[in-house]
Amino acid sequence: MVLAQLGGSISRAIQQMSNATIIDEKVLNDCLNEITRALLQADVQFKLVRDMQTNIKKIVNLDHLAAGHNKRKIIQQAIFNELCKMLDPGNPPFTPKKGKPSVVMFVGLQGSGKTTTCTKYAYYHQKKGWKPALVCADTFRAGAFDQLKQNATKAKIPFYGSYTESDPVKIAVDGVDRFKKENCDLIIVDTSGRHKQEAALFEEMRQVSEATKPDLVIFVMDSSIGQAAFDQAQAFKQNVAVGAVIVTKMDGHAKGGGALSAVAATKSPIIFIGTGEHMDEFDLFEVKPFVSRLLGMGDLSGFVDKIHEVVPTDQQHELVQKLSEGNFTLRIMYELFQNLSKVGPIGQLFSMLPGFSAELMPEGFEKESQQKNKRYMTMMDSMTNEGKLIAAYLLIRNL
């Protein structure tokens, strides 16, 4: 993943600074210059990067730090805080409540990944016990209904649309009414996109919004446009009440960091990022855990959340308790690996553990590690507890 390269460059810069015998002005400047280069390469706006550098220098005033202060820790914390600030829009998103009917309308340009994201969003909530439903009000793009229908059927999510009705407002209203009667608590309306921002697109969005009165409007955008995301997000915000943003295709574009920071600069909260074409390649976006994972510092809350998805309900309580007590043993790891085939990408789970970074995972890692995982599990199944410990150790070393 491209973001992993950005995270890798920043954590390497921090590591080099940490390895220096004495932390002086030069060491700090080298570290900040390295980080600046990495952020600019990810298309983060120059002004944001410059402000970040100035702020860190203000906080970490080496002349005023008394001897005995842990300069490494202070610098590391300042970098972490500034990266969080860069990605934090300062206002939390509206979150629908399970069990209470909510209408969520998706808007965005054609090709941004809107239809795919509607299903990912529905599937994510379905796994957490919601009752989602999908409405296809995209009458502009030929094949949009078939695509949504196909995805919805695969995920066993109810859907509504029409091959003959050409009025998106009527379809949206009919679909929302129907699913409200069926007690669905998350009714997702996919609207039309266009190749570029234009009056007809915004007018249609406004009409669907007025007729369905969504509780939340989610703007979907493609990360490949980098810092140009600022203008696009602003344009959508000015035309419809955008309450949250989902940034897609974070798996393939060097400009992902620029897109995330640009959206945050419009004061729109990002709630998820798309990290691949598959249904489960979809990550909840929360600033602090995201930066923590980016820098290889782990995200134990995300890890615990993942456990809820993969571990059978009757075993969850015990496992979460052990983890919150700091008891992450090889035995737990063995049990987790037994459930791994159900999680989807193994890298997602590993990047949540402190010390593991997605960048450490080489090309082809996912496939190869799934195969290795299967082999090791077969071996471990036939072993005593002591043998399991040794095998788990070998497994970690070979991943």
Which span sits near ligand GDP by CB under 6 A: 64-72, 73-81, 105-113, 170-178? Answer: 105-113
Pairwise CA distance, residues 156 & 135, whole Å: 14
Q: Which is nearer to ligand GDP, 11 or 119 (CB)?
A: 119
By the rule CB under 6 A, 224 interacts with ligand GDP: no
Q: Which of 9, 45, 76, 115 binds ligand GDP (CB under 6 A)?
A: 115
By the rule CB under 6 A, 344 interacts with ligand GDP: no
Closest distance between ligand GDP and the C-beta of residue 255, in Å?
A: 14
Closest distance between ligand GDP and the C-beta of residue 395, in Å?
A: 29
Closest CA to 191 of 118, 97, 124: 118
Q: Which of 96, 113, 257, 302 binds ligand GDP (CB under 6 A)?
A: 113
Q: To the nearest 5 percent, what fractions of the chain are helix, strand and coil? A: 55, 10, 30
Pairwise CA distance, residues 96 & 355, whole Å: 34
By the rule CB under 6 A, 194 interacts with ligand GDP: no
* CB proximity list for 121: less than 8 A, separation 6 or greater: 104, 106, 132, 188, 218, 246, 272, 282
Closest distance between ligand GDP and the C-beta of residue 81, in Å?
A: 28
Closest distance between ligand GDP and the C-beta of residue 301, in Å?
A: 23
Closest CA to 85 of 112, 31, 134, 49: 49
By the rule CB under 6 A, 232 interacts with ligand GDP: no
DSSP secondary-structure letter at 64? T
The neighbouring-strand residues paired with 133 are: 187
By the rule CB under 6 A, 191 interacts with ligand GDP: no
The per-residue b/e assignment along 316-327, b for 16 or more CB within 10 angstroms, e otherwise, is eeebbeebeeee
Pairwise CA distance, residues 176 & 371, whole Å: 44
Handedness of CA 201, 203, 206, 207 (dihedral sign): negative
Q: 262 in helix, strand or coil?
A: helix
Q: Which is nearer to ligand GDP, 17 or 189 (CB)?
A: 189
Q: x/- string (CB under 6 A) for ligand GDP, residues 39-78?
A: ----------------------------------------
Q: Which of 7, 101, 108, 214 binds ligand GDP (CB under 6 A)?
A: 108
Q: 342 in helix, strand or coil?
A: helix
Closest distance between ligand GDP and the C-beta of residue 143, in Å?
A: 9
Which span sits near ligand GDP by CB under 6 A: 79-87, 109-117, 236-244, 372-380? Answer: 109-117
By the rule CB under 6 A, 268 interacts with ligand GDP: no
Q: Which of 18, 36, 110, 162 binds ligand GDP (CB under 6 A)?
A: 110
- Residue whose entry in the numeric block shows the structure tokens 């002004």: 47
By the rule CB under 6 A, 112 interacts with ligand GDP: yes
Residues 233-262 that bind ligand GDP (CB under 6 A): 248-249, 251-252
Question: How many angstroms from the chain centroid is the CA of residue 58?
Answer: 31
Q: How many residues does the chain have?
A: 399
Query: How many binding residues for ligand GDP (CB under 6 A)?
Result: 17
Residue numbers at the binding site for ligand GDP (CB under 6 A): 108, 110-116, 193, 248-249, 251-252, 274-277
